[in-house]
Chains A and B, each alone.
Chain A
């Protein structure tokens, strides 16, 4: 036990030092984990042989990752991206794999190894590239969007690749004690005939889709209604692990199963909550995985093969870049966008490691070759920031004069409005925005409410908007506005505080319940606060005046005058409230303070009225009877004008 805890401690420490440093340097977290692994493994020798074991465990992070990839795949989005996804992505993976496989053959490797190498080198680093895009604001450019399509295709392509690799297992190598992917584990299908096996497989896939589609939603709703976060998390984990187990039992790739489940749940109202729940587990496990990769790097191998590794890395990046550039030309991605596309994706990626370790387990690739390839993949990832620097320094200046194009690119990537809380209030806000084709993401923590909204085709998600991680998966980084209309006053204040702290530039509009709430919200930095009932009550009051015989326009003027007074008073009251001590503001004296404030308000109103009834109805006052409109004759050229 202590031993395990000690290594866990070492891994975590290494991660929490290396990852922030790597991020600061613009290298991305994947490289941070790798470096951490290198430090605790080959450099300091703190961890040793157990890494391979941990690696197998950590690979479950990949399964979770594919679940998340699946969740992101809304069919509608896929459909709009179809040309780029299949065209760009498909051709990139095919051409790159074929070229590298061919090269491997020429270098004298067997065809099985050659295919595995081709596949693993064809992938790029989703993690590094997307992170860099969002840091540099390139995601909305044509080059950025095209690169995203390719990365997405690669992420999906990993699934068939994982299925393919065991089939490549070299017969010579397989004769070892254990059996490929089977590993002598539990299996339901080991003794079945071909047709029965096929039936079981189809049945299992159907079960995943069926459960995902029909059973999971009532289940999630049931669990969500308890309001217990951890119960929901447990359910989510159970779902993912359960599917993975089922898939292994029937001899299919667990990644495929969870990916399918993810796709099925992509349109569900629980999507963001699921993402939020799985994300930390995935992050940790993948991090662990990359650390073990780093720890497994063999320095002697590097020293012996330094020239080979460097040469291979340069070759891999050059070839990938050229293929990408060719594709950019083919698909009309021109100018700076073409360069961005080619340079950003020219590295190998984290899935390369996954395929590598999978190939090793399945005895497709072995020995020094694995170490060399791991070094090539890692090195190419380390060089990626360099490619972006190249882009900034050499490519951008050449196209700077054509800046109009860049701007246009940014306009259509205006982020959505996030509406937190969709009760009676949030709904109206949301409907007005949607009626004008403004994209919104609605969050609510009442599953029944979310269901109602979805019934009328308003995209809504279940989740507690006060959780930063949920906000993240709802796309807060790209959001252009945030509307807070949740029905818990304390939480609304907390949420605004968090938003203004973590995203100071994001404008936040908030619904307040009453005057005190209004002040509290203003105090924590809300950009716009509106009283929940104020405007409808004013409407009602004006109608009352009309029904009492006031001319409708007079009633309107009185309403306006009242509203203006109220606003003035509100501003003064806010000042008075701010001057109160913290204890008075938030302490037990709420009611007392409320009464005080109301009295002050009444005083202000009275003073305003005494100051002149005329003020209140000032507009359109006719001149006094019998006034003289004779004016002193004005000399048009007098008064400082002077001639030219």
Chain B
């Protein structure tokens, strides 16, 4: 682990003032050294995303994280806008578009639904890994290593059930591991969620 990885967290939450989980996640992320945190809704309140600036940010980092509350099985709108504008042909994909090759990509989400609902038999019918496939494939097309999503389910009741602190702590630890690069993308890829891989890695150690 000669070189520390540079982590870029692209955070998207359009109504932070009402947030119960992401608000804390945001603050926790801010306090981790060596992590660049971009609050997209703060930086581009009217969606006028600066393409050059965002592409430069991508060049300057090794790990790209989308951090967001799950909205309609996907990201809040600005992250979609960000993809549409920043991942240009000739930059992110296409014959000469190789800027993102070899970087890691990860989604850190919070979802209102319980984990039990994100099952074939549950009322969401698909698990979270399946639902985030468009992002997975986007990352793959850009030559990035896709890590399974890291998230919190039942986010609307997490605060009263006292689950927020543990999740934030887990997130902080994960950021540390991303920094040192002590994850194995090839093995992690097999898991539905990153937590499962991390738990297993702990057991085997």
Could you tell me which A residues sit within 8 Å of B by CB distance?
A: 560, 564, 618-624, 627-629, 631-632, 634, 636-644
Q: Which of A560, A621, A640, A641 contacts B89 (CB 8 A)?
A: A621
6 contacts between A and B (CB under 8 A): A560-B48, A619-B49, A627-B94, A629-B141, A636-B145, A641-B145
A636 surroundings in chain B (CB, below 8 A): 145, 185-186, 189
Interface residues of B (CB under 8 A from A): 1-3, 48-49, 51, 84-85, 88-89, 93-95, 101-102, 104, 141, 143-145, 181-186, 189, 201
* Interface contacts beyond A627-B89, A629-B141, A632-B143: sample of 13 additional A-B pairs, CB < 8 Å, sorted by A: A620-B85, A624-B89, A627-B95, A628-B94, A631-B143, A634-B145, A637-B185, A637-B186, A641-B104, A641-B145, A642-B181, A644-B183, A644-B201
- Residue of A whose beta carbon sits closest to that of B88: A621
Tell me, in angstroms, the Cα distance from A643 to B141 when the chains sit together.
24
* A640-B141 contact in complex given A628-B95, A629-B93, C-beta closer than 8 Å: no
Residues of B with C-beta under 8 A to A627:
89, 94-95
Q: Please measure, in the bound complex, the distance between the C-alpha atom of A465 and the C-alpha atom of B194, giving whole angstroms.
A: 60
Determine the distance from Cα of A560 to Cα of B89 in the docked complex, in whole angstroms. 22
Q: How far is the CB of B70 from chain A (nearest CB, A)?
A: 25
User: What does DSSP make chain A's interface, helix, strand, loop or mixed?
Assistant: loop
B54 → chain A closest CB, angstroms: 12
The one of B51, B104, B143, B184 in contact with A644, judged by C-beta atoms closer than 8 angstroms, is B184
User: With a CB–CB cut-off of 8 A, which chain A residues contact B201?
Assistant: 644
Nearest A residue to B47 via CB reads A560
| Closest chain B CB from A40 CB (angstroms) | 60
Contact assessment for B183 and A641 in the assembled complex, using a CB-CB cutoff below 8 Å: yes
Task: Rank and list the top 8 A-B pairs by shortest CB-CB distance, nearest first.
Answer: A639-B102, A623-B89, A637-B186, A636-B145, A636-B185, A644-B182, A636-B186, A634-B143
Please determine whether B3 and A640 come into contact, CB atoms closer than 8 angstroms: yes
For B94, what are the chain A residues with a Cβ–Cβ distance below 8 Å? 623, 627-629
Chain B nearest CB, measured from A565 CB (Å): 13
Q: Is the beta-carbon distance between A641 and B185 smaller than 8 angstroms?
A: yes
Q: Which residues of A contact B186 (CB under 8 A)?
A: 636-637
With CB as the reference atom, state the residue of chain A lying closest to B2: A640
Contact residues in B for A641 (Cβ distance below 8 Å): 104, 145, 181, 183-185
Residues on B with beta carbons closer than 8 Å to the beta carbon of A622 = 89
The answer to whether A631 touches B89 (Cβ under 8 A) is no
Residues of B with C-beta under 8 A to A564: 48
Q: How far, in angstroms, from A624 to B101 measured CA to CA in the complex? A: 21
Q: Point out the residues of chain A lying under 8 angstroms from B3, CB to CB.
A: 640
Known: A619-B51, A627-B95, A629-B141. A637 touches B184 (CB 8 A): yes
What A residues does B145 contact at CB under 8 A? 634, 636-637, 641
CA distance in complex: A310, B38 (Å): 64
Tell me the bound Cα distance from A205 to B180 in angstroms.
81
Task: Give the contacting residue for B141; candidates A631, A632, A639, A644; CB below 8 A.
Answer: A631
Known contacts A634-B143, A634-B145, A641-B183; A619 and B85 CB within 8 A of each other: yes
- Which residues from chain A contact B182 at a C-beta distance below 8 Å? 644
Give the CA-CA distance A638 to B104 in the complex, in Å: 11
Nearest A residue to B93, CB-CB: A629
Residue of A nearest to B188 (CB): A636
Please report the C-alpha to C-alpha distance between residue A270 and residue B163 in the assembled complex, in whole angstroms. Answer: 57
CA distance A627 to B141 in the complex (A): 14
Alpha-carbon distance A622/B84, docked complex (angstroms): 10
Chain B contacts for A623, CB-based, 8 A: 89, 93-94
Complex contacts, A619 vs chain B, CB 8 Å: 49, 51, 84-85
Q: Which B residues are CB-close (under 8 A) to A638? A: 102
Which residues in B have their C-beta under 8 angstroms from that of A639?
A: 102
Q: Give chain A residues whose Cβ lies under 8 Å from the Cβ of B189.
A: 636
Q: Which residue of chain A has the shortest Cβ distance to B90 in the bound complex? A: A623
Identity of the chain A residue whose Cβ is nearest the Cβ of B46 in the assembled complex: A560
A621 to B85, CA, bound (A): 8
Chain B residues with CB under 8 A of A624: 89
Which residue on B lies nearest to A631, using beta carbons? B143
| Contact assessment for B102 and A643 in the assembled complex, using a CB-CB cutoff below 8 Å | no
